Amino acid sequence: MKKLSNNSKPNLDLQDDKGVKQMSEGFGLELEEEIELAGGAWEENPEFESAVGRTLFDTPASKDNTVTVVVPKKKMGLIASQSLVRIGSLPPESDGDGRKYIGAVAEGPFAEPDGLRGDAPIMVVTTVRGGIFMPPYHVRVQVQVMGEEVDGSVVPPRFRPLPNSPVFVLDDEETADRLGLDGDIEIGYAVGFKDMRVRVPSNRKSVLFRHEGILGTTGGGKTTTVSGRICQYQKAGLATIVVDTEGEYTEIGEKTKDENMIKLLRRQDREPEGVKNVQVLHLVGRETTAPESATVIPFKLDFSSLSPYAAAEILGLPDAQRDRFFKVYNVVKLVLRDLNIFPRKGDKKEEQQVLEIDEFESGYPGVTLSRLIDITDFFIESMISKKQDKNSKKEEEKESEASMKGNATGFEPFNSEFKTQQARQIINRRISAVNTSSEISWHSLKSKLWGLHSTKVFDQPNAHSIPFKRVLKPGQVTIVDLSDTDSHIINNLVIANLLRGLQLQQEEAYKEAQRKGQKPTPAMIIIEEAHEFLSKDKIEKMENLFQQVARIARRGRKRWLGLTFVTQLPQHLPDEVLGLINNFVLHKISDTNVISRLKRSIGGIDEALWNRLPNLTPGQAIVFATSMTRPLLVSIDPTPCRLRMID
């Protein structure tokens, strides 16, 4: 401001009775004249009057893409955790750069006294001695810069916001738009906002069908999240398939009776309701936890639909038994052809089917467990026969006689087509061409095959396979109840069979929809206790099974077939599985080692949210979807349907 001249210096020498100097009568006019000469009184740019705060200078502790913003006390209620802000700047003629940025509150708000540290001695001593010292204070937040705003679009930032730049809080409508929260699948409310719904779209192939992981410790709210998703998917017309290893979802067709859930629902002006169009599938000969009112369908497993490589991995066969398993499998295929069982002579369709079989993805038609056991017994009989004749015949005579021998061990085949003399000769001729050794290993293989066969869930003649076409109807919810199997091996064989069958059916539906110029029915497969299906400890021994899942994940995305992996032990999920997942719902996880591992696999979640993960309350979760521009802490909606095993 311009200095006052000697001639215009106000007269300040007048004093009142108490010795206090008084201003001259013309002082006000003289001051206004000087202000006018200096350019007029200072006025804040009208564009910045609604700013909630200002950016500060950087410090040695500053981090890339984050800035510190201070907010006066009177405006502290306008900004909250996860709020989106617009950081403006003065125009170039006012020493600014005119740039605008969009950012999100990553840390804070934190209340700090003006001009003092929060832990300053005067603050501590006063409090300890029971006094009250409340100095003027402000709020500090750390804002993560999401991008620079250029012509209404947000692009990657090339610069940092300047100090003293005004900061504005975006309203809820613009925030929801910037975060990409539109969609028909409702998840819950964003924490830190009064009434902002978090949604994801089910009609975009690039979102849910790029697969999802719902992770968290027991009691964190995963079951509520999953059941809520099932309700939403059903209403959106998706076909939803749930692999339920504990029988938690079999009563989902009925409305909840949980008093706490009912209270939470009514706060949102909602009422309890059951999920529509629910059917429960369970293995033949096994019990189900479904209520009497539910539609219940027993099903069998077809061993011939399983890839022999996946089956060998799930059975956990060591190298020696694995080698013998494939010898048996190959002999069964040859014998089926020799006996005109499959493919039948002259049947061009079956001949073509044989040429198209990829045993890394599916099995060979007609290869049943009982036939595998029969051929294994023939191998054992052949070795015993050779052992008996070892000291009495030459090798050539022995092999010739062994091929004609009927029943050295006294076993009787399960399958009638193997009982004739002609069939025995064909089988023994095929076996004689295979190098055999180690009778103990053959007996061990037979024991494992017999163990599977004794469950009576494979190849049952009076039972039906999974009705995949019925399962993939619009709005159909299918609960696959595996609560009565008591076997991880059986569960994993069911899941492998289910995934392969659903993929094939969806492939057909996709081709049919393309011919008609339509979209196929979107489908979502939810796998509970996913760590038991694809364990980190077993992934090296189950390479083929993982590759099969990976192929389904890649192909499924293009054909509206999504996978959701749910687990309370995310540390047991291999990195290869985490690499398939692009959408996450993270409930409370207390183990810091698990969090560190997830950080390496999941990008886009800032450190402040990771720090909150161990302390989330039941029902809270960090949600990130490919349709969202950044992760959010969300209060998950209560479920309106009934769940079992919920306290």
3-state secondary structure 362-395: CCCCCCCHHHHHHHHHHHHHHHHHHHHCCCCCCH
Cβ atoms of 68 and 62 within 8 Å: the answer is: yes
5-9, 326-330, 597-601: least confident range: 5-9
Of the candidates 312, 300, 598, the residue with the CA atom closest to the CA atom of residue 456: 300
Rg (CA), the chain: 36
More confident residue, 40 or 127: 127
Dihedral of CA 538/539/541/542: which sign?
positive
Residue 71 identity (one-letter amino acid)? V
CA distance 12 to 28: 12
- Structure token digits, residue 579: 């690499």
Q: What is the dihedral of CA 16, 21, 22, 24, to 10 degrees?
A: 120
Q: 350 pLDDT exceeds 60?
A: yes
Q: 302 pLDDT exceeds 60?
A: yes
Number of H helices, E strands in the chain: 19, 21
pLDDT of residue 169: 92
Once rounded to an integer, what is the mean pLDDT over residues 115-119? 79
pLDDT of residue 577: 86
Q: 630 pLDDT exceeds 60?
A: yes
38-52, 327-341, 558-572: least confident range: 38-52
Residue 390 identity (one-letter amino acid)? K
pLDDT of residue 24: 60
Q: Which distant-in-sequence residues (6+ apart) come within 8 Å of 484 by Cβ?
A: 247, 282, 283, 286, 287, 288
Dihedral of CA 443/446/452/457: which sign?
negative
Of the candidates 167, 160, 214, 149, the residue with the CA atom closest to the CA atom of residue 187: 214
77-91, 390-404, 437-451, 482-496: least confident range: 390-404
- CA atoms within a 13 Å half-sphere pointing along the CA-CB vector of 516: 9
| Whole-structure pTM value | 0.83
**How far is residue 522 from each of residues 476, 504, 582, measured CA to CA in Å?**
11, 14, 18
- Structure token digits, residue 510: 């996709």
CA distance 479 to 280: 5
Whole-number average pLDDT of the chain: 86
pLDDT of residue 395: 53
CA distance 295 to 279: 5
pLDDT of residue 492: 87
Cβ atoms of 478 and 313 within 8 Å: the answer is: no
- Structure token digits, residue 77: 């209620």
pLDDT of residue 35: 60
pLDDT of residue 42: 46
CA distance 628 to 200: 8
Residue length of the chain = 647
- Strand 185-190's sheet: what is its strand order? 197-200, 185-190, 632-636, 620-624, 583-586, 212-215, 561-567, 523-527, 239-244, 477-481, 278-283, 295-299
Q: What percent of the chain has a predicted confidence (pLDDT) above 70? A: 88
Q: 123 pLDDT exceeds 90?
A: no
pLDDT of residue 406: 47
- Structure token digits, residue 407: 């029943």
CA distance 377 to 33: 114
pLDDT tens-place string over residues 10-69: 444 545 555 555 556 665 666 666 666 655 544 556 666 788 999 999 888 888 889 999
pLDDT of residue 333: 95
Q: Which distant-in-sequence residues (6+ apart) come within 8 Å of 133 by Cβ?
A: 122, 123, 126, 127
Using N-to-C axis directions, what is the helix angle for 421-432 and 369-388, rounded to 10°?
Answer: 70
Q: For residue 458, what is the DSSP state?
A: B
Query: Which range, 100-109, 232-241, 538-547, has the best average confidence (pLDDT)?
Result: 232-241
pLDDT of residue 188: 95
pLDDT of residue 4: 43
- Structure token digits, residue 48: 């910045």
pLDDT of residue 10: 47
pLDDT of residue 255: 93
- Structure token digits, residue 61: 């502790």
Once rounded to an integer, what is the mean pLDDT over residues 134-141? 86
pLDDT of residue 172: 87
Query: In degrees rounded to 5, what are phi and psi of residue 456?
Result: 60, 35
pLDDT of residue 393: 55
Alpha carbon 460 to its chain centroid, in Å, reads: 35
Q: 572 pLDDT exceeds 80?
A: yes
pLDDT of residue 17: 53
pLDDT of residue 486: 81
More confident residue, 232 or 36: 232
Q: 161 pLDDT exceeds 60?
A: yes
- Structure token digits, residue 433: 């061409």
- Per-residue DSSP letters for 115-163? TS-TT-HHHHHHHHTT------EEEEEEEEEEEEEETTEEE--SS-PPT
Alpha carbon 625 to its chain centroid, in Å, reads: 9
Cβ atoms of 58 and 161 within 8 Å: the answer is: no
- CA atoms within a 13 Å half-sphere pointing along the CA-CB vector of 19: 0
